[in-house]
Chains A and B, each alone.
Chain A
Amino acid sequence: MTRILTSLFVLGAVGSCWAQQATTTDPAQGYNLVVQAINNEKWDEGLGIVNGVIQAHATTGKEEFGPVFGHFYFLRGLLQMGKKNYDGAAKSFQTCYENFPNDKLVNKPGDKRGLQPNLFRIAALVQWANVEMFQEKWAEARDLYEKSLAEGPNDPRVNRTYIAVNLGRCYIKAGELEKGYDFISRPLGSDKASAGLKETIFFILSEDWSPEVKLPQVREFLDQFRGVATQCTPEERFEFNPRFRFLAQTAIEQSDPIRALAWYGVTVDPRVMAPVLSERIASIESREVQPEQAEQKRKILETLRGELAKLDAGYWDILNGVGSAHFQMQNFTASFVAFRELSDKAGTHELRPTFLHNVVASAAKTEKWAEAYKYGKAFLAEFPDHDLEPAVARMLVEVVFLRGEYQEAYDIATDVREGMEAGSSIRDIPDFITGASAFHLDRIAEAELELDAYRENYPEGERREPVEFYAGLTKVRLQNWPAAAEILNGFLETYPNSGMTPSALYQCAMSEFMIDELEAALAKVERVLTEFPDHDVAASTWNLKGDIFVSQELTFEEVEVCYLNGKRIADEKGDEPETAAYALWQLEIHSASLELWDRAIAFEAEFQEKHPESDYRFDFLAASLPTLVHAGRTGEALTRLRAAAWEFGDQPESSVLSEMFGTYFEFLKDNFETPAVIAELEEQRLKDDVPPALAGWLAVARIEMVEATAEEDQLANEVAVEFYKLQAKFDPAQQANFVIVQLARWLAREQRKPDEAKPLYDFILENRPDTVNYDYALLDTAEIQAQSDDPAEREQALAKFKRVITEIPNEELRELAVLGTARLYAKEKKFAEAQPFWEQYLDDRSWVVSRPEANYEYAACLDQQGLTEDALKIYVSVYANFPGHLDWSTRAYIRTALIMKQKGEELKALLVLRDMIQRMGHHKHPGVKQGMELFVKWKAEYQPAPKEASS
């Protein structure tokens, strides 16, 4: 409505022609009243009068008054416009224009006075066009405006400029963009055009034309004419802001961010109004007013203060749009700036959560990790229940992870992903962070589960690349070398340009080395050393190359070059002392084994000088023992070994203690006579301050020496004495598992005191999961409980056997656990349950602890389940294949004989027993005795059948 330029006319001036008439249907009076009504916007009143006049003179008006009577239709049109009756108005203006032309101004020949002309005929045409425009009938309006310009070029009652502007707008709105632009834009470059006209045209082009044309045309328009909107007072610019913001916001909504920024570029920072408003407020405040104006003053001040307070919000709204536009076009550096400003300054804005979210997103995209962390934490603290919380947390976890704060990253990630569906895109990053953080937190088993799940759930995951890498590393940490090699090879193939390639090559090579795929490992090692010679893994890779060469049995010179390179690079870098120490350790091992004593002594000296505190110091000590002995420094070697054992002597669970004590004990045995060994052990054990753990190790070492040296008839007693000494004041909490198990086994197996042994095992089972010898404790306890008469105990035994079978990767223990399970079921006469375990045992040919028993018991299971013929074949195989295992072979003989006898084949039964007696009769074994007794009895009873006797 406001954009249509209408002209109201000073209508009173043309009313004189009716001045002599005086009723409401009187045209003169009516005309004046109608004009008054229009001026006062009393539309209904005016319509009543004008319709009265028209009705009264409907048939004669034109004849009676001439074309001037058309003025009433013009007025009626204006009144109808006021009433928003556009159709009626159009009709009225049309009537004024079409029915009251000025072609006949003489009523009859000789009439000198003539008829009054229709002065508003062109004006009616223009108003008609305006009405069409109101109704957005652009083409119709266009035609009418064009007509008005053509027919009334000099009509003083119409404003040609305004008609031209409206016509230009109609061209644009009717789709004639170029014509409209050309038609309307000329005044913008004219010095003569008023500022108001320029402003009007500028906004028509901005709002009606620019959205319909491509961006370059808009740019040219703004390049030429932006001054219309920018070279004016701050107040004026501020007034324009909402219109430009609308254009910008529409552009953003239409994914046209550059256009949006073009419009934001002509807005003004609303805060420029602050001094203007402040000055106005101060001025009004200082103005003294009459009491009756006080309320008005208060209201004005309130309004101005309200406007002042809103300026910041106006700035924030524009900045939000600017930031969004930059975000949309992926200029995250800029969107970060905008949203950081909003996050910092618009602390109470209702969109604060989204501002914080956006600044975190922008910061993450531009790797501003510290900022992402800062604002992400602020979001979580302020809006823990907000809808965007998962999205922010998702970004934050990665930021926290990249900062190396793995526990926090893990906590946030696991918290965030709750309620998210596994495999959904939003859970992708939290799942990755959970797995990768678990890896860094040394929770390797959990990391493996998480990373494997990620690989399963996210075939196209956002973090697939690092997940593959971490999955490979996890397998390395778990020493699952085949899986590690497979995953890392896949990684190298899938991500050939990854930044993690050097590390992946190294880890993969190490895994392949561990599974003896030496050529493949060597190829990767060579890639690292040629393609990434300066990478952090270079020194370790040289060491690995040395390890591979050792396995390939290359010459010492070739091996030595590798370790020397590893040592040199590590020394040069200065931050890999352990890599250098490892190289020295290997050099020591190989030079000593080849008795290259000079080098070995030099390496030993270098190690002691540079790496006395290295993690490899104990390995190195073990490796350097031959060198020290060769150099005549046996005493020094013993002192160092003793010191190492004592250093960890109060740490019962220390693997270093067990390893170093073992090395110490072996060194003693290798380099000293037995009495001296025993004396050394005893001397150490009797020291006042000997730590209990070390004392335990010394005791079991002494027991081993007793077992090796005692007279056979004294052995049990002397061993018992030593165990009694160990058992005195024995506190398992202060002892290594090995020592505890040794004592428990002695109690259970030698002393037949399973009840005393079991608490010792239980201590390990309850307090030391995942430690060395835990698995032995588990199996030994199961075996003790399997012997119990209490069914509940036996049930627990079965559960422990099952754990050993399923959880412990130790074939020796698994064999015993399968055997124990089968035996227990057999003991309980649960032959159907026992049978699969005997089968499992027999299927693994590497299990040899009790194959005769397994065969016999398997046959017994079949036998007990009625499969006698099948059982018979196995019984025969038992005594045929394992005759020396009398416990089982004699049972097999006897059971075979019994089956024969039960089948009525008495002679065959006797022959089986005779065979047994012939082969085993010289043994004093209960089975043999039983067989002989049966044979005698059955032979006495035997009555051969005639055919059988003759044969």
Chain B
Amino acid sequence: MKVFVLLLGLIGTGWAEPILIHLKNGQTMDVELVGIANSAVQWRLSANDATVQTLSFTQISHVDFQPPDEWNDAVFALESGRFDEAVQRFRGIAAKPNNYFYPAPGNFASRAQVQLLQCFRGKLDAESAARQAEIVERAKPTLPPAERELEPIIRCWIAAGQSDWEGVLKAGDAIAEPTPERSFLRGRAFVALGQNGEALDAFAETYTLGFGDSFEMNREALRQSAELLEGLIEDEERVPELRSLVKLYAELYGKGALWEGASDYLKELAAEELETIGQPPAKVEPEAPAP
């Protein structure tokens, strides 16, 4: 009778693959997966073991499943910065939870929701990120512990998605170690609040301190910086700075051109020669890498 009940609750079977179960008491179990029920994992010690055992989710911290190819492809798309493709792939995984060990904590359908949040951050899509954060919040029980707590920066994204600009600044202030991403969101908030000077500084923090970080974010920070400075400059003194911004954008982020809608003035500046001056005293001299 007991087995019968379990079978009724069985969501997926037939994986027969190794998994690592992390118990809440800190122990781990290297076993073979048999199936996932509504509230338990079915497992056996090995393929030769005829005894199938169950372990309630209440005893399990999370399970390390073998990542399926769909998951690996989606992660690769995300890490390659192909955010739209990654969104498609993760949504595909999330849409078929039964195929990806749901609702076991550590299942890929739930984890795909977390990755979707990363995709929206990568796409700088605050509204989607804010909505996705709520979904992730609801998915917490089925996530591995490391993914259950939202990073503090997500509070900034949620506020930005709700156009709560003061909230963005407040949430940003609560972040112990400021990051280029925080600066970027602060920059957006300052723009919305009309504090253009502060916004210019915040965007500069983004692309300067995040030199090897998000391509999308740095590109957007540069674009915003150029447009802000164009509106701020009153005399010739800062024109070289504006020129350097648009040239940097065009050469590194715009495939040689500026963004759609850039003013004619900025286009003219981007077409001019870059004016360089000598290095500052902290001179950078090439150091050959070790062979």
Contacts and interface: CB of A to CB of B under 8 A. Distances in A.
Say if A and B assemble together. yes
A341 B207 CA distance: 13
A862 interface: no
Given A249-B287, A331-B244, A333-B204, A216 B280 contact: no
Interface residues of A, number: 61
Interface in B277-291: 277-291
Interface stretch (B66-74, B118-126, B166-174, B208-216): B208-216
Interface stretch (A13-21, A313-321, A616-624, A691-699): A313-321
A361 B280 contact: yes
Contact of A231 (B80, B243, B245, B289): B80
A323 B243 CA distance: 17
A337 interface: yes
B281 A358 contact: yes
Given A219-B251, A258-B274, A319-B209, A357 B288 contact: no
Contacts of B80: 227, 231
Contacts of B200: 333
Interface string B259-291: 000000000000000111111111111111111
A326 B204 CA distance: 10
Interface stretch (A180-188, A260-268, A505-513, A932-940): A260-268
Nearest to A322: B211
11 contacts: A1-B291, A216-B251, A216-B256, A231-B76, A245-B287, A246-B288, A249-B284, A323-B282, A333-B201, A333-B225, A338-B209
Interface in A785-813: none
Given A267-B211, A337-B204, 7 more contacts: A220-B255, A243-B289, A258-B247, A337-B209, A354-B280, A354-B282, A357-B282
Interface string B62-93: 00000000000000100111000000000000
Contacts, number: 151
A333 B241 contact: yes
A951 B284 CA distance: 112
A264 B252 contact: no
B11 interface: no
Interface string B174-213: 0000000000000000000000000011001101110111
Contact of A253 (B211, B229, B285): B285
A264 B287 contact: no
A338 B208 contact: yes
Nearest to A499: B235
Interface in A351-404: 351, 354-355, 357-358, 361, 366, 388, 391
B240 interface: yes
Interface in B110-166: none
B248 interface: yes
Given A354-B281, A354-B282, A264 B275 contact: no
A330 B284 contact: no
B248 A329 contact: yes
Contacts of A265: 211-212, 215, 218, 252
The 6 closest A-B pairs by CB, nearest first: A242-B289, A354-B282, A330-B240, A329-B244, A249-B286, A331-B244
A246 B280 contact: no
A242 B290 contact: yes
How extensive is the interface on chain B, given as a class? 35 or more
Interface of B: 76, 79-81, 200-201, 204-205, 207-209, 211-213, 215, 218, 225, 229, 238, 240-241, 243-245, 247-248, 251-252, 255-256, 274-291
A328 B277 contact: yes
Contacts of B205: 337
Contact of A267 (B76, B204, B207, B212): B212
Q: Which of A2, A255, A319, A329 has the most CB of B within 10 A?
A: A329
B256 A319 contact: no
A543 interface: no
Nearest to B205: A337
A339 B200 CA distance: 16
A863 interface: no
A257 B281 CA distance: 16
Q: Which of B81, B209, B212, B229 has the most CB of A within 10 A?
A: B212
A855 interface: no
Contacts of B213: 269
Contacts of B274: 257-258, 329
A868 interface: no
A322 B277 CA distance: 15
A337 B225 CA distance: 14
Contact of B241 (A2, A255, A332): A332
Contacts of A739: none
A285 to B, nearest CB: 19
Contacts of A216: 251, 256
B245 A331 contact: yes
Contacts of B283: 324
B7 to A, nearest CB: 41
Contacts of A358: 280-282
A380 to B, nearest CB: 16
Contact of A318 (B201, B211, B277, B286): B211
Nearest to A356: B282
B291 A2 contact: yes
A392 to B, nearest CB: 10
Given A231-B79, A332-B241, A334-B204, A321 B251 contact: no
A393 B276 CA distance: 24
Contacts of A250: 286
B208 A322 contact: yes
B248 A331 contact: yes
A329 B243 CA distance: 9
A429 to B, nearest CB: 16
Nearest to B254: A219
Nearest to A226: B215
Contact of B289 (A246, A261, A331): A246
Contacts of B225: 333
A80 interface: no
